[in-house]
Structure 1
Amino acid sequence: MSETEERLCNAGLALPDIANPAGIYVPALRLDNLVFTSGQLPFVEGVLMEQGGRGKVNEINQAQAAIAARVAALNALAAVKSVVQDLDNVEKVLKLTVFVASESFFTNQHIVANGASAVLYEAFGENGKHTRSAIGVSELPLGASLELELVVGCSF
């Protein structure tokens, strides 16, 4: 087990199996020392988790959506691992983009995104601090409450 995965384990988190693409794309792509993930949904064992608000997020279910963001971040790390073989090769998390399916007038997308940011910090410590965008959208694939993308820099 890599040091990164051990830190996740100590935080009570584990990498899932990589999600199967639902179309003609790859879960992650490496270009030189950068890895870009495709959008990751909060899937647990191939099923969109119910806890994430399953649909539009509002003030009532934003805490559940933050949990869904944690799940999606772990899915993104599994996608990264699929192309770098070992998460210890990740030198720095560069960018996290979180799309939150939001009810009208919901403005706490950044709080939902904190769920994903916390996972990255647990995994990589200071190297897990990143730039971030948290964006409210009207709808996401499969009625998901959120979708996120990740860009990391690696050392090989």
Structure 2
Amino acid sequence: MWRYFVGAGAALLLAVAGMFLFRGTAASRAELPAAPAAVAEAAEEEALPDEAPKASAKTREQKRFDRYDKDRNDAITREEYLLSRRKAFAKLDANGDGKLAFEEWAIKTTDKFGGADKDKSGALTRAEFLATAPKPRKAAPKCACPKPAAKAEQADEQE
């Protein structure tokens, strides 16, 4: 019989302790700090525009035209048009003789194969072929917003 009394007492003590713990954590929650006065005033003064800002009127083709027109005379000469092709050819022409041999054209692929063929057998195993997979590109950040700490430092400097 005394076991029942001890069990009931323990349950009652746990319930009371739980109640105190719950009230203690609820009361100790930190509230968010108020916005600095300078930031709050600036936010109130700036009115939002009626409509979203528009992109520039330049079309995609106009931008492409401007990339080719190096001297900005609104005309693309043959030299300007072929300049990007000449640069690409010059990168591939390893010996600079003005002729592009197959080995020069395929040098990047040949080097990649040679680097992946670790046992120099002339053939790639599955594990070696896996090393030739292109690396995933990191996505560029879309927003260059300042970090919250930087905003707080700027507000401190203004005061």
Q: Same fold (TM over 0.5)?
A: no
Structure (1 or 2) with the greater helix fraction: 2
Greater relative contact order, per chain length (Cα 8 Å cut-off, separation 6+): 1
Structure (1 or 2) with the greater strand fraction: 1
Tell me the TM-score normalised to structure 2 length.
Answer: 0.17
Q: Which of the two has higher C-alpha Rg? A: 2
